[in-house]
Amino acid sequence: MTCLKSRALVVLLLFSTGLYAQDAASKPLQGRWVVIAGEHGRKPMDSLKGGVMSITGTAFEIRTASGSILKGTLRLDTATSPFKMDMVHADGEVWEAIYETTADALRLNYVEKGGKDPRPTGFTTSEKTEESIVTLRRDGTQK
């Protein structure tokens, strides 16, 4: 019985460490972010400006400037450079992204998983890819 309890404790510790690591990775992203710029095909996407992304734990909600609402969960990988993010939408769609963050800025470059392009590797777009860069400012900070 002691061996069984020990194994259960190890499994519990491994599971909780994974959750802790995910929570620690998402901590700098927590809060409300406002879109200040967007780019697709090397062209500005001004229609995105003013959209809001809120992150609580691993949940996200995007309220686009046009009024649409997208919800889902984040999966983060901070063991890579640049950091990776999967945005798993409630409808099952997945956006594969890279991201970087500072105290008051967040920048994403993403594509739809299963599309013609793999996950981005840098923060540039091209007329030949479906990559989209979005720059956000933490709500409540100045430009």
What SS3 class is residue 13? helix
Q: Residue 121: what pLDDT?
A: 97
Name the residue range of residue 69's domain. Answer: 2-138
| pLDDT tens figures, 3-25 | 434 343 333 333 333 333 445 56
Q: Residue 103: what pLDDT?
A: 86
Mean pLDDT for the stretch of residues 34-40:
98
Q: Are 100 and 107 in contact (CB under 8 A)?
A: yes
Mean pLDDT of the chain: 85
Mean pLDDT for the stretch of residues 108-136:
97
Question: Is 120's pLDDT higher than 50?
Answer: yes
Mean pLDDT for the stretch of residues 77-93:
96
Residue 131 lies in a domain: yes
Quote the CA–CA distance of 33 and 62 in Å, as a whole number.
9
Residue whose structure tokens are 């879109």:
35
Residue 94 lies in a domain: yes
Domain count of the fold of the chain:
1
Backbone torsions φ then ψ of 99, nearest 5 degrees: -150, 160
Please report, for the domain that includes residue 8, its CATH number. Answer: 2.40.128.280
Backbone torsions φ then ψ of 2, nearest 5 degrees: -65, -40
Residue 118 lies in a domain: yes
Q: Residue 141: what pLDDT?
A: 56
CA distances from 139 to 5, 12, 21, 45 (A): 47, 37, 25, 20
* DSSP secondary structure letter of residue 42: T
Mean pLDDT for the stretch of residues 107-128:
97
Residue 143 lies in a domain: no
Mean pLDDT for the stretch of residues 82-99:
97
Mean pLDDT for the stretch of residues 59-65:
96
Q: How confident is the model at residue 128 (pLDDT cuts 50, 70, 90)?
A: very high
